[in-house]
Amino acid sequence: MSATSETRPRASVIAAERSGAYDAIIIGAGISGMYQLHRLRGLGLSVRVFEAGDGVGGTWYWNRYPGARFDSESWTYGYSFSDEILREWEWSEHFAAQPETLRYCNFVADKLDLCRDIEFNCRIRAVTYDEIANQWEVEREDGGRERARFLITAIGPLSAPTMPTIPGVESFRGESYHTGTWPHEQVSFANKRVAVIGTGATGVQAITEIAKTVGHLTVFQRTPNWCAPLHNRPMDAATQARIKATYPEIFAVCRESFGCFIHQADPRNALEVGPEEREAFFEKLYGEPGFGIWMGNFRDVLIDQEANATITEFMRRKIRQRIKDPKVAEKLIPTNHGFGTRRVPLESGYYEVFNQPNVRLVDVRETPIERITPAGVKTSDSEHEVDMIIYATGFDAITGAFDRIDVRGMDGRRLREKWADGPRTYLGLQIAGFPNLFTLVGPHNAATFCNIPRCVEQNVDWVTALIGHMREKGYARVEATPDAERDWTQHVHDTGKRMLFTQVDSWMMGINSNVAGKQKRTFIVYAGGAPKYREKCDEVAARGYVGFTFR
């Protein structure tokens, strides 16, 4: 397919503008919204995208914090649908940093001439289904309203940043930032006393980078994570050429792996092999780039407690070896969860940061943060005076972005209320009672646990095919049946229960200590793996979109 071909008849958009209703509205111009726009144009639909930021890129637009970079191999992350884009774009590193990924998003937007159909700086506050008109009415934060037959949310899995509910946050006199809304201007750490709160995947990247130039750094850690080496390196010309020549094979490998990464699980069980062979295998994975140690490990380490204990013990030893002060090492070793049962942060010298004389680790389980004061962070045993506080405190994951929009379906029913006891969906793409609404990276969808563009392409293609099917048959309305929704939700719960991560608190189980009502574990991700998910979606389509009603 040529990426530059003009695929959308201009006349349809002009007609939509005159009648005041589009065929489709997409919320969000990140990885999924951009591709969905391109594909719907291909169907000849009039489409409008509303994006809160002033540029495309979603995650890569907002998360500009120091150290932000891929944990997926760059060359497995880009869109696969356009040979022209694959040929022309060059990744400079195996795991590109955020500025390069944002440039990539802009490169794609320019290639496909996407921006003419995107309205930037436009946050959506409410969406309401109008049953009589069979349209969605979309209300912008500035009060403006737009209408469309189809509404597609492309609002990202981790796009609602959350601040900690620590008293006094507003009182701090110095600079303060949340990593998920990092300023566009350069922030300097030189000669400054900096505090970082949070040690998830974001905190680990930010702490490692900030430690290179900071005056003094204090890290406030509540739960240590099992971090593994990223092993990033620049891309040389020969590798670049080899990758470009083998993109189809690369994407084929990703397609068949659990999370669409290049790493496939080893077919053996951990305890099937002797201790020496196991150790050698772990050592090999530890020395290799990317998520291999998480996704390419023995097939049972993420589902069997005993198998998991073997890799957990290995990782424990690694941390002890890398930290000079044994007391600090013990603080950095997780005690309440096994390796891989929470999102594994990949690191490039994270542990060594704690060997620096100008870095201090504060375990806030030992000495809880009592409040933020005008001068810094007050814990139960002292006041840490700082010039800057960085909140790497994460996101209201997956359902959080939906909660920020007042979504009302049939009979004015609110999505927030429907999902009060956990999400209920069909394929993670549709919801009974919310006709013509598609959730591209919604709960229960494989994209929630995935090398995102790989799953997003599948979802967008599937939704596009469904809309194409409706046009062909003359249908104007599609809705998941309550039975299909019940069965899918049950399937999500059943597949989830096999996985150890569902027995641990983390954003993957919908836990966020800073958001009311998000302290109970909830099945929000699809843990059956991307290949199984694709199979299910394909089967639904092949059986004439079974589980949906059309009108």
By C-beta, is 331 or 343 nearer to ligand NA7? Answer: 343
The position carrying tokens 């991560």 is 501
By C-beta, is 123 or 222 nearer to ligand NA7? Answer: 222
Quick one: tokens of 255? 């397609």
By C-beta, is 222 or 255 nearer to ligand NA7? Answer: 222
Minimum distance from residue 266 beta carbon to ligand NA7 (Å)? 23
Minimum distance from residue 365 beta carbon to ligand NA7 (Å)? 8
By C-beta, is 202 or 502 nearer to ligand NA7? Answer: 202
Q: Three-class SS of residue 154?
A: coil
Quick one: CA dihedral 450, 429, 440, 444, positive or negative?
negative
Quick one: tokens of 150? 């189809």
Alpha-carbon separation of residue 36 from 41, 47, 178, 351, 535 (angstroms): 8, 10, 29, 40, 21
Helical (H) or strand (E) element with 193: strand 193-197
The C-alpha angle 468, 469, 472, rounded to 5 degrees, equals 85
Query: What does the alpha-carbon distance between residue 99 and residue 93 come to, in Å, rounded to a whole number?
Result: 12
Helical (H) or strand (E) element with 101: helix 98-111
The C-alpha angle 219, 220, 225, rounded to 5 degrees, equals 90
By C-beta, is 122 or 254 nearer to ligand NA7? Answer: 254
Minimum distance from residue 505 beta carbon to ligand NA7 (Å)? 7
Minimum distance from residue 536 beta carbon to ligand NA7 (Å)? 24
Report the residue closest to ligand NA7, judged by CB.
Answer: 200
Q: Three-class SS of residue 75?
A: helix
Category of 376 on φ-ψ map: left (φ > 0), alpha (ψ -120 to 50) or beta: left
Minimum distance from residue 320 beta carbon to ligand NA7 (Å)? 21
Minimum distance from residue 409 beta carbon to ligand NA7 (Å)? 29
By C-beta, is 156 or 433 nearer to ligand NA7? Answer: 156
Residue 451: phi and psi, rounded to 5, are -70, 95
Binding residues for ligand NA7, rule: CB under 6 A, are 158, 164, 166, 197-203, 220, 222-223, 343, 364, 369, 392-395, 507, 513-514
DSSP 8-state code for residue 299: T
Minimum distance from residue 450 beta carbon to ligand NA7 (Å)? 10
By C-beta, is 154 or 364 nearer to ligand NA7? Answer: 364
The C-alpha angle 156, 157, 161, rounded to 5 degrees, equals 90
At residue 429, what is the residue type?
L
Q: Which residues contact 156 (CB under 8 A, 6 or more apart)?
A: 28, 30, 32, 58, 59, 401, 441
Minimum distance from residue 452 beta carbon to ligand NA7 (Å)? 9
By C-beta, is 206 or 429 nearer to ligand NA7? Answer: 206
Alpha-carbon separation of residue 280 from 262, 320, 441 (angstroms): 21, 18, 38
By C-beta, is 122 or 158 nearer to ligand NA7? Answer: 158
Minimum distance from residue 546 beta carbon to ligand NA7 (Å)? 33
Query: What does the alpha-carbon distance between residue 46 and residue 58 come to, in Å, rounded to a whole number?
Result: 22
By C-beta, is 129 or 182 nearer to ligand NA7? Answer: 182
Minimum distance from residue 511 beta carbon to ligand NA7 (Å)? 7
By C-beta, is 334 or 423 nearer to ligand NA7? Answer: 334
The position carrying tokens 């990539």 is 104
Neighbours of 79 (CB within 10 A): 21
Minimum distance from residue 484 beta carbon to ligand NA7 (Å)? 29
DSSP strand pairing (135-140 vs 216-221): unpaired
Which residue, among 537, 506, 510, has the nearest Cα to 201 in the 3D structure?
506
